[in-house]
Amino acid sequence: MDIIFNQLTHLYHPKTPFERIALKDINLQISSQSFTSIVGETGSGKSTLVQHINGLLKPSSGSIQIGSISIDSRKKVSNLKELRKQVGMVFQYPEHQLFEETVLKDICFGPINFGISEAEAKRRARWAIKQVGLDTDILSRSPFDLSGGQMRRVAIAGVLAIEPQVVILDEPTAGLDPEGRKDIMSLFKQLHEDRQWTTIMVTHSMEDAAYYSDQMVVMDKGTVAMHDSPENVFIQIEALKKLGLDLPQSMQFLRLFYAKQDLKVIKPVFSIEDTADEIIRALKTVRKG
């Protein structure tokens, strides 16, 4: 599902003394089935941007097109329910939004709310819980008796059960330990591929942006400063520095490595494996040269 921002501006507290431009004339096209990371300093407009995609915020001017649904600042929004069925959102700390007595009821809440029959909702819940790597036994338990990692998976299953085509992840690994972080990110990567999602992830982690996404949007003071592949974004070292962003650790290391020999090589390398290969290649080349 393509997402197109068309000259979209968003003002907070419009027509009051507190008026502030949160997004300024955004033109952006996010392609169907891409995995796009949104990065930028706190206050650059990342969350405001994604909240337009599922209709949590309405543009002050301009419009946004999500598949066949359009939200235009000049028109009344009519098909919000349909939009939220298509666009699932995993907030920061999704486990804080669990509220039902059982895991089953919690997962079924979304689908039933969107007019799916109870039988179908239950079928989806059983399917979704397996997708997130949990046992169906857990469905009868209270969500509040689960561990933090399990709770987060249950919350994700709730989004899955709506069968969205677009999924927004707002810092999905916040507060998890390293193993939990790796597990959840591989789960999203897997689901992204299996379910052919269009995935949009807001993140502060340059490592996750580099490693998991195929497109990046760099936000700066309410505008889109860059929109390109991670490879093309991360070679713009000076520009990123001005925007207050770091390089992924792999590239920081390579920079330090090359700088020791006064070499100014910039390679977009993100995994440990590729970093090691690049180092070995460089050592051989320098030796020959």
Partner 1 sequence: MKQKENPIIDVSNVYYRYEKETNWILEDINLTVYQGEWLAITGHNGSGKSTLAKCLKGLIMPEKGTISVLHWDTTDKEKLWDIRRTVGMVFQNPDNQFVGATVKDDVAFGMENSGIERQEMLKRLETSLKQVRMFDYVDREPHQLSGGQKQRVAIAGIIALEPSIIILDEATSMLDPEGRKSVMKLMRHLNKENNITVISITHDLEEVIHADRMIVMNDGKVIKEGKPRDLFQSTNDFEKVGLDLPFTIKLRRCLKEKGLEISDNALFEEELVNELWTLYSTN
The residue ranges that bind partner 1 (CB under 8 A) are: 41-43, 147-149, 174-180, 182, 204, 244, 246, 249-250, 252-253, 256-257, 260-261, 272-273, 275-277, 279-280, 283, 286-287
DSSP E strands, 131-202: 166-170, 198-202
Which is closer to partner 1, CB of 74 or CB of 288? 288
Q: Is 26 helix (H, G, I), strand (E, B) or coil?
A: strand
Least separation in angstroms between CB 144 and partner 1:
15
Least separation in angstroms between CB 64 and partner 1:
26
Least separation in angstroms between CB 23 and partner 1:
19
Q: Give the residue carrying structure tokens 């497109």.
A: 215
Length of the chain: 289
Q: What is the strand order of the sheet 61-66 is part of?
A: 20-30, 3-12, 61-66, 69-72
Which is closer to partner 1, CB of 75 or CB of 182? 182
Which is closer to partner 1, CB of 90 or CB of 116? 90
Q: Is 71 helix (H, G, I), strand (E, B) or coil?
A: strand
CA 161 centroid distance within chain: 18
Least separation in angstroms between CB 179 and partner 1:
4
Which is closer to partner 1, CB of 140 or CB of 252? 252
Which is closer to partner 1, CB of 127 or CB of 253? 253
Q: Is 35 helix (H, G, I), strand (E, B) or coil?
A: strand
Least separation in angstroms between CB 41 and partner 1:
7
Tell me the CA end-to-end span of the chain in Å, nearest whole number: 50
> What are residue 80's phi and psi, to 5 degrees?
-65, -40
